[in-house]
Structure 1
Amino acid sequence: MSSFTTHLLSVTTGRTETVTDLTADCEQFLTRAARGGDGLLNVFVPHATAGIAILETGAGSDDDLLTALQTLLPADDRWRHRHGSPGHGRDHVLPALVPPHATLPVIGGRLELGTWQSVCLVDTNTSNTNRSVRLSFLGQ
């Protein structure tokens, strides 16, 4: 018999572009939701200007990602979507490159991430500092 459990995280990202590691939050959720079982964890950010990435953190990759996004999506006046802060239209393009979701395997109640992988919220929108992230576990 399968079960479904979900939880909404509140994350404050601040007034700078950020990569926020959510791995510990995901693990805490799975302790309650998976109870040692197998299944899938879905991580979803219900915002039009943020995404979920699986990447290494703490060794510069998170900063490298933000630098790459600044290069690919400069905060200038080229964007047709013009409300908000200057260059805000680029924030609305972000989810096409960093999707708003990730689905990850859970084995024995634990995330099956690679050695250096972390689950991260990517937020380039400095006008919206409060984010929600939905964690959902579907398993046995």
Structure 2
Amino acid sequence: MHSTEIEIRTGGSAVVADLTREVERFLADVPGGAEDGLLHVWVPHATAGLAVLETGAGSDDDLLAALDELLPRDDRWRHRHGSHGHGRDHVLPAFLPPYATVPVLGGALALGTWQSVCLVDTNIDNAVRRVRFSFLAG
């Protein structure tokens, strides 16, 4: 197994951050080469998740809009520390888990044509996130 952790600055607004290029760089640096196996991505945070989706054509913005409708940033949440409506950020990982696993074939991610590995962060109180990549050889 080969593993590393990166830091992503997400800023002060909700974001869908495409991690695909960082994952590809990670796979290129696997000692002995990453052939067939699994890429596991992990976000060690209680208020962020991962998604595999299309980006750049509006789907990332649609996801954030859907999360705003499903999990409004208002006073309904029992978890009340942080910014207004922050409790919803603690519910997010139940909908977008903090992990994703993608097959790696011949050293390349076996993603569909429009798929990207993305960090989804709606927590405006924490602008820095850690993401761990692990490659498990097959």
Using structure 2 for the length normalisation, give the TM-score. Answer: 0.97
Return the match for 2:21 from 1, 20, 24.
Answer: 24
Which stretches in structure 1 are left out of the alignment for 5+ residues? none
| C-alpha distance in structure 2 between counterparts of 1:107 and 1:89, whole Å | 39
CA drift at 1:48? 0.2
Partner of 2:64: 66
Partner of 1:14: 11
| C-alpha distance in structure 2 between counterparts of 1:69 and 1:23, whole Å | 22
Partner of 2:81: 83
CA drift at 1:97? 0.3
| C-alpha distance in structure 1 between counterparts of 2:20 and 2:34, whole Å | 17
Q: Does 1:53 align with 2:51?
A: yes
| C-alpha distance in structure 2 between counterparts of 1:108 and 1:28, whole Å | 15
Return the match for 1:119 from 110, 117, 120.
Answer: 117
| C-alpha distance in structure 1 between counterparts of 2:73 and 2:23, whole Å | 31
The RMSD of aligned alpha carbons is 0.9
How many residue pairs end up in the alignment? 137
Query: Aligned AA for 2:133?
Result: L
C-alpha contact 2:34 2:137 (8 A) present in aligned 1: no
SS at structure 2 position matched to 1:62? helix
Residues 78 and 32 (structure 1), Cα distance of their counterparts in 2 relative to 1, 3 Å cut:
same
Query: Aligned AA for 1:92?
Result: H
User: After TM superposition, where is structure 1 displaced by more than 3 Å over at least 4 residues in a row?
Assistant: none
